Copies of this chain bind each other. A is one copy, B any other.
Amino acid sequence: MTDSKLRGQYAKGEARREEILDRAVEAFGKFGYHATSMREIAKVCGLSQAGLLHYYPNKEALLLALVDRREQNQAHEITKDIALWVDGILKQEAANEKEKALTQLWANLVGEATDPAFPAHSYFVKRYSRTRKDMAQQIAGISGHQQPTEEDQVKAAILVALWDGLQTQWLLDPKFDMKRYFEYGLTMLTRYSQFK
């Protein structure tokens, strides 16, 4: 079934949809979700506005497709090897740095998603909650705990915050060396304990 997608109209349409998402990420990332019109996105896709609506019936559908795709590209396993873990995180960080448009979009969306009436609000809430849980599990793993301790959970929230916050500063100022700060923070989190 998946292979059959590679031929025929369906595959073509799917490819087009992917391409549209790529352009949309760029546009939304630059100007924000609300400030970017479907016309503009259509334009950078070489489509008319009505043509774009053929693929994504409205703006919200486009947004959700975008967010969903990012989701799927970020699945990762849990490891007990601390070096491997740090490595994995830094790789993800590097990926975010490379895909600036997507990172920018994310920063933009999170701000807007704060409003409960935002189309993807509950998605963001769940997403953050799950990320914290996963991080806590991961930190417990490398700390030799069966279950995440209170401190593991606190560290997880801090790590998530650090990630977002450093990205913000980097987005505002491209010279900001996010990686350096992130590495320091990671090391600190792995080495420090309240009880030492």
Contacts and interface: CB of A to CB of B under 8 A. Distances in A.
A169 B173 contact: no
B112 A35 contact: yes
A128 B173 contact: yes
Interface in A155-190: 157-158, 160-166, 168-169, 171-173, 176, 180-181, 184-185, 187-189
Contacts of A191: 192
Which secondary structure dominates chain A's binding surface?
helix
Contact of A154 (B30, B108, B129, B184): B184
Contacts of A107: 110-111, 114
B173 A165 contact: no
Query: What 9 A-B pairs have minimum CB-CB distances, sorted nearest first?
Result: A161-B165, A111-B111, A165-B165, A34-B35, A164-B165, A108-B111, A114-B171, A34-B34, A161-B166
Interface of A: 30-32, 34-35, 104, 107-115, 117, 124-125, 128-129, 132, 154, 157-158, 160-166, 168-169, 171-173, 176, 180-181, 184-185, 187-189, 191-192, 194
